Amino acid sequence: MTAPILTVRDLTKRYGGLTAVNEVSFDVQEGEILSVIGPNGAGKSTIFKLISSFVKPTRGEVRFRGEVISGLAPHVVARKGVVRTFQETTIFKGMTARDSVIVAHHLRSQASLAGFFFGTVAARRDEDAFARSADEILEFLGLDAVGNELASNLPQGHLRALGIAIGLAADPKILLLDEPFAGMNVDETRQAVERVRAVRDRGVTCLLVEHDMAAVMKISDRIVVINFGVKIAEGTPEAIRADDKVIEAYLGVEDETIGL
């Protein structure tokens, strides 16, 4: 096995007296789809914010290709190739889908900001490249038809895709997806699952935080289960399905929702 792309070690976050995440450790391998799941309030979203560095850990660390990234500013982490997406409410409401994706190419700029101001050759080259790349990404995610729509006018399904498009524009090595299937019906979920697979097939490692068990079981190479801020299981979907602790944590949840 090669070195993992992302290592999470003893990650702990306390808010006052409350421990939201307690000594969670796991690895993400290059090119896999790994999902972090758990019942509501288990600490999933805190883990997500910790990895994307929007929240600083109380203890423990996150390493990207061996380099500590926890505690760095979010934009620095993004610059290294760890890019997060948001749920559909977090978009640039006043911009078109295409403009949002073009702006999101920020990290690929060769020219300086002053260069863009004065319209240097490098800046023009960048602008052309960004526009081409944005069109490619929009087409890849099936958004080419709505590229010139205002983001605030797009339906929910397209907004999810737009969120991923903005993430891809930043040229990620690993994409962190925040509940990509939340609130979707069966059909939408099937499309969204395909979308995440396609992103992985572009060579982008995917880390999901999700509570739709059925979708997670279908898509993940491996799964990490969190309950009360503690990791209770880790393994392939088959192993997780058979894990007593997981079944216990989800007790009271109808069997079909956890994909049993």
Partner 1 sequence: MTNSRRAGSVAAVAVFLAAVFVAIPLAIAATGRTDLYYTLSSVALLAIASGGVWLTFYIGRINIGQGAWALVGGYASAVLVTTYGWSFWLSLPVAGLFCALMSMLVGLPILRLRGVYFSMVTLVLTEVARLTALALPITNGARGITSIPTPGAIRLFGVTLVPGFETFANRNAPFYFLSAAMMTLCFAGLWRLVHSRLGRLFAAMRQNEELASSMGVNVPLLRVVAYAISSFLGGIGGAIFVAIAQSIYPSSFTINDSVNFMLNCFLGGLGFVFGPMLGTLVLYFGWDLLFQTGQYQLLIYSGVMILLMLVLPNGLLSLRWPSRGRP
Q: What is the largest CA-CA distance in the chain?
A: 63
Q: Between 161 and 190, how does the x/- string for binding to partner 1 read (CB under 8 A)?
A: -----xx-xx--------------------
Q: Extract the tokens encoding 222.
A: 């491996």
Whole-number minimum distance, CB 27 to partner 1, in Å? Answer: 23
**140 contributes a contact to partner 1 by CB under 8 A:** no
Cα–Cα distance, 84 to 197 (Å, whole number): 17
Q: Between 63 and 92, how does the x/- string for binding to partner 1 read (CB under 8 A)?
A: ----------xxx--xx---xxxx---xxx
Instruction: Kindly indicate which of the ranges 22-30, 112-120, 131-139, 249-257 contains the residues binding partner 1, using the contact rule CB under 8 A.
Output: 112-120
Q: Which three-class secondary structure state does DSSP give residue 239?
A: helix
Phi and psi dihedrals of 170, rounded to 5? -80, 5
Closest CB to partner 1 among 59 and 79? Answer: 79
Identify whether the C-beta of residue 6 lies closer than 8 Å to the C-beta of residue 63: yes
Interstrand relation of 82-84 and 59-64 (parallel, antiparallel or unpaired): unpaired
Candidates 37, 81, 86; CA nearest to 213 is 37
**96 contributes a contact to partner 1 by CB under 8 A:** yes
**135 contributes a contact to partner 1 by CB under 8 A:** no
**123 contributes a contact to partner 1 by CB under 8 A:** yes
Q: Between 192 and 231, how does the x/- string for binding to partner 1 read (CB under 8 A)?
A: ----------------------------------------
Long-range contacts of 50-56 (CB under 8 A, 24+ apart): 50/11, 50/13, 50/21, 51/6, 51/8, 51/82, 51/84, 51/176, 51/207, 52/77, 52/82, 52/84, 52/176, 53/77, 53/82, 54/84, 55/13
Cα–Cα distance, 235 to 139 (Å, whole number): 34
Which of 45, 52, 205, 220 touches partner 1 (CB under 8 A)?
52
Whole-number minimum distance, CB 112 to partner 1, in Å? Answer: 10
Which of 3, 41, 68, 117 touches partner 1 (CB under 8 A)?
117
Other CB atoms within a 10 A radius of the CB of residue 158 amount to 20
Instruction: Kindly indicate which of the ranges 38-46, 117-125, 179-187, 211-219 contains the residues binding partner 1, using the contact rule CB under 8 A.
Output: 117-125
Residues of this chain that interact with partner 1 (CB under 8 A) are 52, 54, 73-75, 78-79, 83-86, 90-96, 99-100, 102-104, 106-107, 109, 113, 116-117, 119, 123, 126-127, 150, 166-167, 169-170
